[in-house]
Structure 1
Amino acid sequence: MDSANDCVINVQGLGVERGETTILHDVNWQVARGEHWAILGANGSGKTSLLQALTAYLTPSCGVIQVDGETYGQTDWSQLRQRIGLVSSGIAQKVPLDEPALKTVLSGPTAQLGYWTREPQATDNAFAHECLARMRCEHLAERNWMYLSQGERQRVFIARALMTRPVLLILDEPCAGLDPVMREMFLKGVAELAQQPNAPTLILVTHHVEEILPVFSHTLILRGGETLAQGPTENILRSDLLSEAFGAPLTVTQTGDRWELRAGR
């Protein structure tokens, strides 16, 4: 890659230490424009810490973090954070149960859960409907949060993230709690989003290779706070690498354009 300016994410020599504990060590990672990445790793591998460092909720001990050409420590990261969408099942659970989906989406630019700001302008409403339509859930606009399925909530939450026109959209284990049918419906929506014009760069954090769709061209594997492997997905989703990452014998197989993982050899 010729320049950091060609990157949506540029991480160089990232380290995070707290006391005598090393959380991340010498992580180097570049995400070029037009790429979508998956991040794999066992519990405690450093996935969450890497996300927190990217979104400035965890201060690095050393190294460089750049997002969309802006450098951590030299930029108002609170402003840049608004251009980084984050979707996780944990955050989605905090939305008021009696809030209509449209208002949940409208709350996106304020980065607040629970819509309490001024009455939206017509342009706000129109764009919120557009964001819902991008995720094929505009029909849910007036439905209260309590009546949405987990998969519908995740789609609405992505629409909420799109309200800020993010350059980067992080999906942090978005399929947690979804049954197999809802998971496939949700993943289909993610694939459609990735293929839309001006789509944000997508980062999928998961434990499950089954969730890594063909649109995720590259994969990063973390182990013990360090980079175990990274590169084109077809080169990274290998039995030997995943066995090392998860500390147990595993076999990866590919059927069509999807991957499967099973214990044992």
Structure 2
Amino acid sequence: MEERVVLQVDGVGFVRGGRTILDGIGMRVHAGEHWALIGSNGAGKSTILSMLGAVVHPTRGTVEVLGRRLGRVDLRELRGLIGHVNPRHEVRSPLTVRDVVLTGATGTTERMMRWEPTEEQERRADELIQLLGMHDLADAVWPVLSQGERGRALIARALLPDPHLLLLDEPSTGLDIAAREHLLDRIDGLRAQHPDLASVLVTHHLEELPATTTHAMLLRDGRIVAQGAADDVLTSELISETLDYPLELTRTDGRWAVRTARNWG
């Protein structure tokens, strides 16, 4: 039996200010698959992620998220089924890690006035804080957290409503190597513990791909260069074409590394 389709994108184009940002985009994501969108700055990765997160609509084509087509669905209801991790998430108050995670229940950046979490929500928040390796920081306030700690807290926040889809927008932004590796280890861990969860991660650094990445889409100038199983798509030839530079790609213990092709120049 075919696995459940979480995302279905057909013939999508997106135009902004008279400029074509995306053209002819199509993809299908099943439950349990973990996709990476890869391309240089301006390739259209974040625009696709915004559509998958029901933030923007395509100019043409169709986008179906969890069986619901954009333009025919209550967006607030749909967004409640999607966990969206944005490292630029703003928290203006000195909330604790636990409070930040609990805002995932309301979809807000602050604790809502006169709102109190249920016992089940509190229990799940504590479970996710533990899963993301932040048990000792549950009561730490947002301003004192490192960028890596904030990233893990935001993943826990996104998972609180038990979403079917997790969107990660360059989650390693601003992290040093140790913090990046810690975060990627945690992403691999949560994927193992939530086998039906589908995810889409945006990056332009192949070293930032978790080992559990199953599929990839390569983008250049708003068009697809290649897509499919990670081992078929993440090759030296296709990456070089996508980024318009001769690159050599290797994979060791599930992780990718890239360097200038040795025979270049």
Q: Distance in 2 between matches of 1:252 and 1:54?
A: 28
* 2:210 corresponds to which of 201, 208, 213: 213
Residue 121 of structure 1 corresponds to 118
Residue 166 of structure 1 corresponds to 163
Q: Distance in 1 between matches of 2:39 and 2:137?
A: 34
Q: Describe the shift of the 1:100–1:199 C-alpha distance in structure 2 as closer, same or farther (beyond 3 A).
A: farther
Q: Describe the shift of the 1:197–1:89 C-alpha distance in structure 2 as closer, same or farther (beyond 3 A).
A: closer
Structure 1 vs Structure 2 CA RMSD: 1.7
SS in 2 for 1:86: strand
Residue-by-residue CA offset, 1:127-152 (whole Å, 9 max, x unaligned): 21122122222222111112211111
Gaps of 5+ in 1: none
Matched to 2:92, the amino acid is: P
Equivalenced residue count is 261
* 2:188 corresponds to which of 173, 191, 199: 191
Residue-by-residue CA offset, 1:199-239 (whole Å, 9 max, x unaligned): 52121111111122231111111111111100111111111
Q: Which moved more, 1:225-234 or 1:15-24?
A: 15-24
Question: Does residue 149 of structure 1 match 2:146?
Answer: yes
Question: Does residue 50 of structure 1 match 2:56?
Answer: no
C-alpha contact (below 8 Å) 1:24/1:226 kept by paired residues: yes
Matched to 1:221, the amino acid is: L
TM-score (norm 2): 0.93
Residue 18 of structure 1 corresponds to 16
SS in 2 for 1:128: helix
C-alpha contact (below 8 Å) 2:8/2:64 kept by paired residues: yes
Matched to 1:248, the amino acid is: Y
Q: Distance in 2 between matches of 1:198 and 1:110?
A: 25
Residue 78 of structure 1 corresponds to 76
Q: Distance in 2 between matches of 1:160 and 1:178?
A: 19
Residue 96 of structure 2 corresponds to 100
Percent identity among equivalent residues? 39
Residue 6 of structure 1 corresponds to 4
Q: Describe the shift of the 1:196–1:97 C-alpha distance in structure 2 as closer, same or farther (beyond 3 A).
A: same
Residue-by-residue CA offset, 1:8-62 (whole Å, 9 max, x unaligned): 1110101112343111111010011121111101011000111112223222111
Q: Distance in 2 between matches of 1:229 and 1:105?
A: 36
Q: Distance in 2 between matches of 1:67 and 1:36?
A: 15
* 2:64 corresponds to which of 63, 66, 72: 66
Matched to 2:86, the amino acid is: S
C-alpha contact (below 8 Å) 1:193/1:199 kept by paired residues: no
TM-score (norm 1): 0.93
Q: How far does residue 122 in structure 1 lie from its aligned partner after superposition? A: 2.5
SS in 2 for 1:89: coil
C-alpha contact (below 8 Å) 1:95/1:113 kept by paired residues: yes
